[in-house]
């Protein structure tokens, strides 16, 4: 799964730590999601989309391998 988390974070001028605190996870989790090592749950994806005020499928999109 691909994501635009890093770009969206840069637009909002948020650090990984800021975003992690806003959605109640660790900074490592945000880093792992950004690098595509970890696929977040629906709840976490919805929380992220709420922070960036964008629909989930604009931030996360399926890869050809998915």
Instruction: Collapse the DSSP code of 26 into the 3-class scheme (helix H, G, I; strand E, B; otherwise coil) and give the result.
Output: coil
| Choices 4-12, 26-34, 48-56, 57-65 (CB under 8 A): range interacting with other proteins | 26-34
Q: How many CB atoms lie within 10 A of CB 14?
A: 17
> How many residues interact with other proteins (rule CB under 8 A)?
14
**At CA 20, angle to CA 24 and CA 62, rounded to 5?**
100
Instruction: Report if residue 22 touches other proteins, rule: CB under 8 A.
Output: no
What residues line the site for other proteins (CB under 8 A)? 20, 24-26, 28-29, 31-32, 35, 37-38, 40-41, 44
């Amino acid at each position: 799964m691909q994501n635009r988390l890093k770009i969206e974070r840069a637009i909002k001028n948020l650090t990984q730590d800021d975003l992690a605190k806003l959605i109640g996870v660790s900074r490592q989790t945000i880093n792992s999601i950004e690098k595509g090592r970890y696929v977040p749950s629906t709840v976490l994806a919805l929380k992220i989309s709420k922070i960036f005020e964008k629909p989930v499928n604009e931030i996360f999109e399926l890869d050809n391998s998915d």
